[in-house]
Structure 1
Amino acid sequence: MAAKSSENKVGQSLFLNGQIARAVFKFFASLQLAIGTLSALMIILAVGTIVESRFSADAARILVYDTPWLTLILIVLVLNLACSAADRLPWQKKHIGFVLTHLGIIIVLAGSLATQEAAVDGQMSMTEGSSGKWVTLKEPMLYVYAQAFKEERMVPFKERALRWKGREKIAQFQTEGKEAQLFLTQFYPNVKTEAGWVAAEKGPGAIQVSLWNSFVNVKQWLADVPASRELPLGPAVLKWASQFAQPEKQPTQSAIELKSAEGVWSVPLPADSNLPFEHQIADGFFVKILSLYRHAYVEENILKEGLPPEHADNPAAVFEITKDGKTERHTVFAQFPDFPTVHGKHESELGFQAVYIDPRFVQLASKNELRFVPQPDGLYYQIINDDKLKQGKVEAGKEVQTGWMDLKFKAEQVLPHAAADMKVLPLDDDDPSEAAVAAVSLKIQSPHGSQSFWLAEGLQKSLMLEDGLFEMVYGRRQLALGFEVMLKDFRVKFDPGTERPAAYESDVVVKDFTRGTSFEKTISMNQPLVYRGFHVYQAGYQQNPDGTESSVFAVARDPGIPLKYAGAAIMVFGILLMFYTRAYSSRNEKGLK
């Protein structure tokens, strides 16, 4: 009896499990689930479209498309389609189109999931002659060097689309007797950074200056460091200098000025009666003035003396330069200094350029400059207005007239010793400003104390704490391509008659050391480089501070594309087969009737 009772319980359990399995199967195969899943998917895609138009494509990707719940909905839809097709078992010929259509949709969704999980979308840029083998992705990353802990680490943190404030531990450093934690406390997707200075116990001097009139109003920092000593501002130049400027003097005597890589020399011109005249500059280096033309003009390619009515007064000199046993003959004109020697139109094997300086035609360059000069008793200003000089002691908050364009200046802050500081100015989350970057507020905490600071993307921060030196860079995660791309040449094509870029082209050399291959390719906007699953597109270019240009490439790899294409083809074939089967069945039914 006991054995029979046990068998009954097992049978009941199997029956119950079978009922549950059938109920679950019927639920996933139901039309109601299909309608609900598709409705939810349409709502999510609509929300994604709104977010993208309101903020950006990255915001839509982070908040909608790359979310676990969208992945879950896609998985439920795949199960619904699979169970719906399986519910027709055993399949007949009339079900082939239906099954293929469902199979195609399942394959397309599988491709979408593969794209979501494994796609690569990044950038790389390089100048001519440089190489690149790393792609910069969108995932944020901190590169941290902790000197006291003898550790370099890449610290990833969650990518966000909107402002965030909280406390999230992203790294911990530990060694014998020491411990430190790194926290993320704030995130801004769009900020502008403003370099500044704060008072310190030691360091270079610095001053914050306001310069304004009825049309302009600017506030800038100057400091006694190479990158912050001079600031051009259109009508004037602000400068931190070690000494006061001296007034420029108008030349009083005609001379020939020689320039080369070795220096600048002035050769005074004598009276006509003292020609030829020889002037020695150094051993084996001298200049011989052969002839002077007080009123020179050229007729039939011959230099002549005189002043025809149609010609302007134009002194000229013919001279020879002898250096290291070599002699060159040159002609220079006072009124036309670029003809023929000064700009290289007459090649000089000795490497000289010459200018005829005549006091009648020399005009001192117009110059407006506001100079700050540290002295033992404080900081002084000097206003240079063409050939006029004015100076005084700097007093914080005192307005001073500059004499140019009704401009005034005022010292907002005067710091005898200063340390560099960076201010973060938040912008709206949807601000399209090209200068905007992301920024994070971080906090380092240890038993000896804590320190908070802001770090903008692309910038570096160094902190000296009791636990030692911490250096951090806010960047993006990088992915190895597996091969190297070298930029040989970059070209920009412009629309005719304009300076508007029309197209970009890059000649590159691809080197794959693992496969031992190398080849050349021209990448343009519609002709990408396709290699080892990567598509490298010409995305644009950027102007570098040193005047060079960097070619910018968009790099993509999508393992889901073959599945999407295959699934779409199967789905279309299945739909056509469904229509054909239905039409064929209808004709047969009419024939039977």
Structure 2
Amino acid sequence: MRKKLRALFLFFASLKLAVFVLLGTATVLAVGTVVESMYGMRAAHLMVYGTWWFGGILFLLGVNVLCAALSRYPWKPHQTGFVVTHAGILVILLGSVITQRFGVDGNLPVVEKDVNDAIALSDLKFVITNELSEQRKELPVPETGRPSHGNLMSVQVSPNHIVEIDTFYPRALFTETWEKSPVPGLGYPVVSLLLESSRFNVEQQLVAESPSGPTEFEMGPAIFSFQKLWDKKEEARFLNPIAKKETGEKEKGTVLIVLSGREYRLPINGLLGGWVDLGSTGHKIRATKYYTHAIVQENELVNKSSALINPAVRLEVRSKDGNLEHHTLFANFPEFPTLHRKLSGKNTVDGLKARMIAPRQRAEMGIVGRQRGVLRIAQSADDKKLLYVVQSRDGSVNGKGELPLNTPIETGWMDAKFTVLDWKPAAVRSVEPKPVDRIPDASTPYISALRYHIRDLASGTTSAPRWLYQGDLQRETLSNQRLVFSLTKDRLLLPFKVRLEKFMIGTDPGTTKAASYASDVTVLDSTTPRNGPVHISMNEPMEHAGFTFYQASYQKEEGKPTISVFSVNRDPGRLLKYLGSILLVLGISVMFYMNPHYFDILLGKKK
């Protein structure tokens, strides 16, 4: 038995095993590099670095190094470099194991002037929430580096129902299509518009009053819009716009009302003229005061100047029951309406959300000193026809009336003309994921998606498959249970909060391209308080409570506060890896210096 153990020990300490393990490790690392370049860092982790067999190779390497060092015991002075080098390798491997087991690596997005303490990690979770009992179950998703199909996962969500996941896309792009609604009147109006001239040819789809689709787009010196009209009065006002050159009235912006899943865009100029019907809801709305530069003086909102600096508007909403809501909207601060809402009466307009959109800044659009041509298309109140109005830059009407399909209409803007290629009076949105196998562009944002179906054990039937996207929700009612399914990243709560005080972007000279970005943050920690804000830039991370925060990226959208994204890392094995690296370099240096020939000469054995 002792001989067998001795033979096994010598095998693990052998040079042949060392060569095999080192060649295998180098090959796997090369494969991992290729996989990462083709499928991304997460795929490389799932397919290579996070697998059991890669861990086995590293374990075998550690055993080989340890046995090789012990096989020379007792060590001689000239073997000092050999022992130190092998000790360095073992310390590096130990530090790597500690990092993999206890380390944290994720992202922390923080909205400007807001706080966050939840780090988004890499692992995906399939979350099932019961809305009635408020029970929540989080299950790990069977992630793969490439698209996978089959019986991937099964979860029993009720005594008679099983949710089965049959498809998983680790990276997906989404194609949005609008299809004719199966129920008349349910959905949103959609038109496909073709714009053509001697200089351009553009096809664009417009969706009226849908929060998920555009209602207008801009191209060159023109604006194109599509809306739904609700009565004959609106149709008359639409077909007879007041030219700006006749009134001299400046555009004051738009009020955006969201109610019962529909979106209403109402020009403030029209709201200042009196009560306006809010579609066919029975509610009415009007503007009582408009501000270009709103400030608070002696607890009163006043207009400081005529410069368009802080636009605001005061609204009154009269419900169909005759009760009033008073809103003060600020274009630069869309979250304020909730804070400034006042009520008169018991019955209010439930679910109404209001927002102000400031008038367009011509300088930003690159057409200083010029008005813009406008093409407006609208669906009639009875949903049976399309209407259009074309206005020139000075506001005069170039054409209007009923709009036929597949018929080119001249705009009067040089040789430009437009054609409505398709029209759906009521359409529903359909989103289908398209799997992305190889990554053509590392900057393209991909999200994961899975497809599931529900099997009824009592009847033996299976529901139609449905897609669940990362960050999205799907609701199902099963056996008197209201369940919510979601696909989200695993989260880790920090023992403190981070508040984003200010986000800064540095641009290349003469351009708007971001050259650098940085954040000033405040750490809210009662255990380990910090004085004042901390500056985090691309080359200046912040360290706190064992976590390191790096400035990773940002999200900036018009009309929304900026989001700064920090890469958060906690590496408890870092010091061991640094120490192992130092020992490795030191050992190699000693081996070159303290070789056997040197000691033979030193001891007088050789001359």
Q: TM-score, normalised by structure 1?
A: 0.72
Equivalent position of 2:598 in the other structure: 584
> Which runs of no fewer than 5 residues in structure 2 stay unpaired?
254-267, 275-303, 310-368
Call closer, same or farther: CA 1:105–1:148 in 2, change over 3 Å: same
AA aligned to 1:490 is F
CA offset at residue 69 of structure 1? 1.2
1:450 is aligned, of 457, 460, 463, to: 463
Q: Deviations over 1:107-132 (max 9, x none)?
A: 11122222333332211121221111
1:181 is aligned, of 163, 172, 197, to: 163
Matched, 1:82 2:66: yes
AA aligned to 1:194 is E
CA offset at residue 477 of structure 1? 1.1
Identity of aligned residues (%): 26
CA offset at residue 140 of structure 1? 1.7
Call closer, same or farther: CA 1:75–1:522 in 2, change over 3 Å: same
Written as runs of structure 1 = structure 2, the 5 A alignment for 1:57-136 is 57-136=41-120
Q: Deviations over 1:308-350 (max 9, x none)?
A: xxxxxxxxxxxxxxxxxxxxxxxxxxxxxxxx974389xxxxx
Tell me how far apart the structure 1 counterparts of residues 188 and 39 of structure 2 sit (CA, whole Å): 42
Written as runs of structure 1 = structure 2, the 5 A alignment for 1:527-546 is 527-546=540-559
Matched, 1:52 2:12: no
Preserved contact between residue 197 and residue 221 of structure 1 (Cα < 8 Å): no
Matched, 1:488 2:501: yes
CA offset at residue 67 of structure 1? 1.8
Equivalent position of 2:420 in the other structure: 410
Between stretches 42-51 and 366-375, larger displacement belongs to 366-375
Preserved contact between residue 146 and residue 437 of structure 2 (Cα < 8 Å): no
AA aligned to 1:145 is T
Matched, 1:431 2:440: yes
CA offset at residue 32 of structure 1? 0.7
> Which runs of no fewer than 5 residues in structure 1 stay unpaired?
1-16, 267-339, 346-362
1:506 is aligned, of 514, 519, 525, to: 519
Q: Deviations over 1:68-113 (max 9, x none)?
A: 1111011001101111111122333333332222111111112222
AA aligned to 2:189 is A
Call closer, same or farther: CA 1:164–1:378 in 2, change over 3 Å: same
Tell me how far apart the structure 2 counterparts of residues 144 and 206 of structure 1 sit (CA, whole Å): 34
Q: Deviations over 1:277-297 (max 9, x none)?
A: xxxxxxxxxxxxxxxxxxxxx
Equivalent position of 2:174 in the other structure: 192
Call closer, same or farther: CA 1:255–1:533 in 2, change over 3 Å: closer
Call closer, same or farther: CA 1:258–1:452 in 2, change over 3 Å: closer
Tell me how far apart the structure 2 counterparts of residues 75 and 254 of structure 1 sit (CA, whole Å): 81
Written as runs of structure 1 = structure 2, the 5 A alignment for 1:344-363 is none
Tell me how far apart the structure 1 counterparts of residues 214 and 139 of structure 2 sit (CA, whole Å): 36
Tell me how far apart the structure 2 counterparts of residues 592 and 225 of structure 1 sit (CA, whole Å): 91
AA aligned to 2:444 is E
* SS state at 1:523 partner: strand
Call closer, same or farther: CA 1:368–1:73 in 2, change over 3 Å: same
Tell me how far apart the structure 2 counterparts of residues 250 and 86 of structure 1 sit (CA, whole Å): 93
Tell me how far apart the structure 1 counterparts of residues 142 and 251 of structure 2 sit (CA, whole Å): 63
Q: Deviations over 1:470-524 (max 9, x none)?
A: 43333211111221111112222233443333322211111223x2624332112
Written as runs of structure 1 = structure 2, the 5 A alignment for 1:558-569 is 558-569=571-582
Call closer, same or farther: CA 1:586–1:197 in 2, change over 3 Å: farther
Equivalent position of 2:402 in the other structure: 392
Call closer, same or farther: CA 1:559–1:195 in 2, change over 3 Å: farther
Call closer, same or farther: CA 1:374–1:575 in 2, change over 3 Å: same
Matched, 1:41 2:47: no
Tell me how far apart the structure 1 counterparts of residues 248 and 388 of structure 2 sit (CA, whole Å): 32
* SS state at 1:390 partner: strand
* SS state at 2:410 partner: coil
Equivalent position of 1:24 in the other structure: 8
Call closer, same or farther: CA 1:566–1:229 in 2, change over 3 Å: closer
Equivalent position of 1:293 in the other structure: none
Preserved contact between residue 536 and residue 553 of structure 1 (Cα < 8 Å): yes
Equivalent position of 1:248 in the other structure: 241
AA aligned to 1:151 is Q
AA aligned to 1:402 is I
Equivalent position of 1:299 in the other structure: none
Matched, 1:401 2:408: yes
CA offset at residue 264 of structure 1? 5.3
Tell me how far apart the structure 1 counterparts of residues 476 and 429 of structure 2 sit (CA, whole Å): 12
Count of aligned pairs between the two proteins? 482
AA aligned to 1:449 is T
Preserved contact between residue 136 and residue 476 of structure 1 (Cα < 8 Å): yes
Q: CA RMSD in A?
A: 3.6
Tell me how far apart the structure 1 counterparts of residues 400 and 464 of structure 2 sit (CA, whole Å): 45
Preserved contact between residue 506 and residue 523 of structure 1 (Cα < 8 Å): yes
Call closer, same or farther: CA 1:524–1:225 in 2, change over 3 Å: closer
Q: TM-score, normalised by structure 2?
A: 0.70
Preserved contact between residue 149 and residue 174 of structure 1 (Cα < 8 Å): no
* SS state at 2:145 partner: coil
Call closer, same or farther: CA 1:428–1:372 in 2, change over 3 Å: farther
Tell me how far apart the structure 1 counterparts of residues 370 and 22 of structure 2 sit (CA, whole Å): 78
Tell me how far apart the structure 2 counterparts of residues 226 and 553 of structure 1 sit (CA, whole Å): 29
Tell me how far apart the structure 1 counterparts of residues 96 and 12 of structure 2 sit (CA, whole Å): 20
Preserved contact between residue 161 and residue 454 of structure 2 (Cα < 8 Å): no
Call closer, same or farther: CA 1:184–1:519 in 2, change over 3 Å: farther
CA offset at residue 199 of structure 1? 1.9
AA aligned to 1:392 is E
Call closer, same or farther: CA 1:26–1:430 in 2, change over 3 Å: same
Equivalent position of 2:295 in the other structure: none
CA offset at residue 560 of structure 1? 2.0
* SS state at 1:248 partner: coil
Matched, 1:238 2:244: no
Equivalent position of 2:307 in the other structure: 343
Preserved contact between residue 206 and residue 214 of structure 2 (Cα < 8 Å): no
CA offset at residue 37 of structure 1? 0.3
Preserved contact between residue 228 and residue 381 of structure 2 (Cα < 8 Å): no
Q: Which has the larger radius of gyration?
A: 1
Tell me how far apart the structure 2 counterparts of residues 27 and 83 of structure 1 sit (CA, whole Å): 9
Call closer, same or farther: CA 1:195–1:55 in 2, change over 3 Å: same
Tell me how far apart the structure 2 counterparts of residues 426 and 344 of structure 1 sit (CA, whole Å): 46
AA aligned to 1:446 is D
Between stretches 196-205 and 126-135, larger displacement belongs to 196-205
